[in-house]
């Protein structure tokens, strides 16, 4: 996977966290994800892509950071993963994916996105379709770290 595929998502994560959650995020690592690797986190937002790029992206947060993000979004004090947190993580994931999709559209790529889904639970595992290698990007904030997984394959 090329940097031109990953960068729109990275830029969107940084922008979305700042604008939506009032949290400054910066990358601290990037690498290839092993198919059996479990990303540390308690909640993940996932969106699929079909078209000129096929696969998925996932954003995985620890509980305390997910709660802080949504607390800042809705101006409330949330300490547990509840329906508000699930909805907020869906919305963050949707905005990240939508912003990246807009960038790809300006490059002439035709993409459609699925509705965002959320997985909750310690040590949950996200698997991309067979034949699609994921890139994992770590982000750090003053509250903690979270992860972006980009598992997309360009169709010819």
Tokens 């595992």 identify what position?
125
20-49 residues labelled b (16+ CB within 10 A) or e (exposed):
bbebebeeeeeeebeeeeebebbbbbbbbb
* pLDDT confidence bin for 1, thresholds 50/70/90: low
Q: Which string of DSSP letters, residue by residue, matches 53-100?
A: EEEEEEEEE-HHHHHHHHHHHHTS---S--HHHHHHHHHHHHHHHHHH
List, for residues 43-87, the tens digit of each pLDDT value.
999 999 999 999 999 999 999 999 999 999 999 999 999 999 999
H or E segment at 140?
Answer: strand 135-140
**What are the residue boundaries of the structural domains of the chain, listed by start?**
3-154
- Number of residues assigned to the chain: 156
Write down the CATH superfamily of domain 3-154: CheC-like (3.40.1550.10)
């Amino acid at each position: 996977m090329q940097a031109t595929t990953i960068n729109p998502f990275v830029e969107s994560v940084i922008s979305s966290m700042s604008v939506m959650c009032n949290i400054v995020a910066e990358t601290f690592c990037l690498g290839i994800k092993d198919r059996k690797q479990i990303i540390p986190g308690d909640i993940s937002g996932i969106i699929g892509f079909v078209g000129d790029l096929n696969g998925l992206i996932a954003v995985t947060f620890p509980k305390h950071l997910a709660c802080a993000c949504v607390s800042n979004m809705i101006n409330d004090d949330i300490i547990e993963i509840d329906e508000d947190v699930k909805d907020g993580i869906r919305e963050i994931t949707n905005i990240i994916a939508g912003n990246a999709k807009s960038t790809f559209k300006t490059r002439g790529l035709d993409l459609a996105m699925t509705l965002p889904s959320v997985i909750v639970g310690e040590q949950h595992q996200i698997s991309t379709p067979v034949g699609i290698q994921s890139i994992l990007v770590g982000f750090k904030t003053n509250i903690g770290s979270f992860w972006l997984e980009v598992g997309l394959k360009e169709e010819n």
